[in-house]
Amino acid sequence: MSTTKEKYKKVAYYPGCALEGTGHSYNRSTKAVGKALGLDLVEVKNWNCCGATAAHSIDQRASIELAGRTLNLATRLPHSDLLVPCPMCFNRLKTAAWTLNQDMADRYAIHLKGALPKIWDLANFFATDEMLQCVAKHIKKPLEGLKVVCYYGCMANRPPEITEAADHENPQSLDRIMQNLGATAIPWPYKTDCCGASQVLSRPDIVSQLVGKLYDMAQRVGAQAIVVSCQMCQANLDMHQEKIGADWGKSFSLPVYYFSELIGLAQNVSGVKHWLRRHITDPFALLRHLNLWNSS
Amino acid sequence: MPIHEKSLIRPEDIKTHDELVLDGVDVSGHWSTFIESRVVDDYNENLQDEIAALPGGENIHRCWQCGSCTNACTVNAINEDFNPRYWIYLIRMGYQSELLRDKDIIWQCVSCNKCTYACPRDVFPEGVMKATSHWLEKKGHTPKSPSMHFDEVFTEQIVKTGKIEESRTIRRFFARTGQGLMQPWMVEMVKRMLKGLPVGLLTRMGLATLIAPKTNDWSKASAAIQEYIDEQNEKHDKALSLAELVETAKQDVAA
């Protein structure tokens, strides 16, 4: 494709801390896929942590102000869309934007300086008609034969008053993206159930029960893999599969892909190998089996 | 999802005797089951106000006990003793001793916010769970929960640098909860990573653990947030009359 400058659509991008660590593959694949599609992701300059779940349980006001600072930095950019790949960050930014636009905004030491860009959950952005058509044009290798369940988790959807998710009990964005790539997205009941998040450190037994339930159902509906849009869910589902299988007396083998990695795979973008290498549950065997993976 | 909550009569309060004669009447066997009467011995009138003074607990007074939170709860589905509706009831009634029976599981909330969505009265039960575990710790009923340690380590790092570097957070968390860093899953993860990664990336990751990522110009924001958190802590301690609690304890020791 031509790379003339005006063909690039510029959007603001807030990666968040986790995408510089455990979510490295999510970050890299999003950037690579965006580039191939003609999207220029402009990182919000000098951003800070959104506060995540921890800050609001220590201090509610500080959690709004942390996210508020980043929002103010985003208003300085001329772009009308702000893409947020991490659902936790998305939730905190939306909460801050909502709170700071209410009557109670006076209670906070930070005020919004200007009109906010539209805050997008990355999966929802890629599931708009415009983006789906754009992706469809760039597909080189449809993911035929790949049967997945899409797992959305808590933060991109709840509470709907804040996230403005249209179909928060049965979200469709990842399913639409997967169908568009030629894969089969199987409907299942646990799309928005919780993976246990940071309790993985405090109470691994709770996480084992919650995540085991997801594996069990995914296998029962006939899925070969799980597709996610959250690095926390990815880590919880990917890292402990062997151990959780042992807890449940079963053997699970479900690779956990970011949706952006699979878009990259279908588009044959370079770098897919490096993203997938960081997974714990073998992501290659299934792709080889389906003839979707050529290099050794 | 469970629709019925478990019985309010605790198993230890149900008394059946194999052989018991009272005033000449034979009351042995299943058909003469007794229920131990419930005694409330430390009624705390301020309990609701104290919880409401902590972050997340502000809306507890709005609850009308419909039970939607418990019905939607992720943790309740795997442990029926985890019952947000019941705890909110106990707090509003001031039944402190009853609440304290469950002090070791309240912090296990996974913050999935299903209750927040299900609640028709905007009570924000997830916040109430956080406020209640906070209260238990501040009043000294429980040692700091692992979950609270995590939140603190996390927040401290944000306040300090503006960003989170996960391996640092995890290391500090294990150090503070007295666990070894070499958790089996962690060793496995590092092994897998070593297998597949190019040397350059490893060096960079190594460097990241030495030099934490930082938001520029953060020092001013950091000081402001820290000052604010301290101020809030002071306010919370006051709302819970912690100073008086310490004073009473001192007098008890002196006497």
A48–B218 CB contact, under 8 Å: yes
- Specify whether B68 is located in the same domain as B122: yes
The nearest alpha carbon in chain B to A56 belongs to: B55
Q: Are B51 and B115 part of one and the same domain?
A: yes
Tell if the CB–CB gap between A66 and B225 is shorter than 8 Å. Answer: yes
3-state secondary structure chain B: CCCCCCCCCCHHHEECCCCCEECCEECCCHHHCEECCCCCCCECCCHHHHHHCCCCCCCHHHCCCCCHHHHHCHHHHHCCCCCHHHHHHHHHHCEHHHHHCCCCCHHHCCCCCHHHHHCCCCCCHHHHHHHHHHHHHHCCCCCCCHHHHHHHHHHHHHHHHCCCCHHHHHHHHHHHCCCCCCCHHHHHHHHHHHHHCCHHHHHHHHHHHHCCCCCCCHHHHHHHHHHHHHHHHHHHHHHCCHHHHHHHHHHHHHC
**CATH label of the domain that carries residue B66:** 1.10.1060.10
Give a yes or no: residue B67 inside a domain.
yes
Is the four-CA dihedral A151, A154, A156, A157 of positive or negative sign? Answer: positive
Calculate mean pLDDT across residues A252-274: 94
- CB B91, CB B99: distance < 8 Å: yes
Tens of pLDDT along chain B (255 residues) come to: 444 566 667 788 888 888 888 888 888 888 888 888 877 777 899 999 999 998 889 999 999 999 999 999 999 988 888 999 999 999 999 999 889 989 989 988 988 889 998 999 999 999 999 899 889 988 888 877 777 777 777 777 777 777 776 766 777 777 777 666 556 666 666 665 555 554 555 555 555 555 566 677 777 777 777 777 777 778 888 887 777 777 777 777 777
Task: Indicate whether B171 belongs to any domain.
Answer: yes
Is there a domain that residue B221 lies in? yes
Averaged pLDDT for residues A45-53: 83
User: The whole model's pTM is what?
Assistant: 0.79
- Structural domain includes residue B5: yes
B82 and B23 share a domain? no
Same domain, B19 and B54: no
Select the more confidently predicted residue: A244 or A204: A244
pLDDT tens readout for residues A3-19:
444 467 899 999 988 88
User: Looking at the complex, does the CB of residue B237 fall below 8 Å from at least one CB of chain A?
Assistant: no
Domain boundary among B77, B110, B141: B141
Cβ pair A218, A188 in contact under 8 A: yes
Phi, psi of B165 (to 5 degrees): -115, 110
| Number of domains, chain B | 3
Q: Is A294 exposed, middle or buried (0-12, 13-18, 19+ CB in 10 A)?
A: exposed
Residue B255 lies in a domain: no
Shared domain check, B130 and B152:
no
- Is residue B239 assigned to a domain? no
In a domain, B85, yes or no: yes
Q: Which residues are paired to A151 by β-bridges?
A: A228
**Which ranges in chain A belong to alpha helices (H)?**
24-36, 52-58, 60-75, 87-100, 122-126, 129-138, 160-163, 173-180, 199-202, 204-220, 231-239, 241-248, 259-267, 272-277, 284-289
| Same structural domain, B52 and B131 | yes
In this predicted model, what pLDDT tens digit does every residue of A122-174 receive, in sequence order?
999 999 999 999 999 999 999 999 999 999 999 998 888 889 988 888 999 99
Interface ipTM: 0.73
3-state secondary structure of A270: coil
Same domain, B167 and B131: no
Q: Which single residue is written with the structure tokens 């442990």?
A: B79
Give yes or no: residues B108 and B184 share one domain.
Answer: no
Q: Do B74 and A194 touch (CB under 8 A)?
A: yes
Q: Which residue of chain B comes nearest to A277, CA vs CA?
A: B196
| Domain that residue B21 falls in | 1-38
Q: Tell me whether residue B249 is in a domain.
A: no
Residues of A whose CB is below 8 A from B185: 239-240, 243
* Domain shared by B151 and B130, yes or no: no
Q: DSSP 3-state assignment of A84?
A: strand
Query: What was the pLDDT predicted at A48?
Result: 87
Task: Check whether residue B81 and residue B166 sit in a common domain.
Answer: no
Q: Which of A25, A26, A43, A58 is the best residue to mutate to test the B interface, defined by the most B CB atoms within 10 Å of its own CB?
A: A58
B33 and B97 housed in the same domain: no
Shared domain check, B137 and B51 = yes
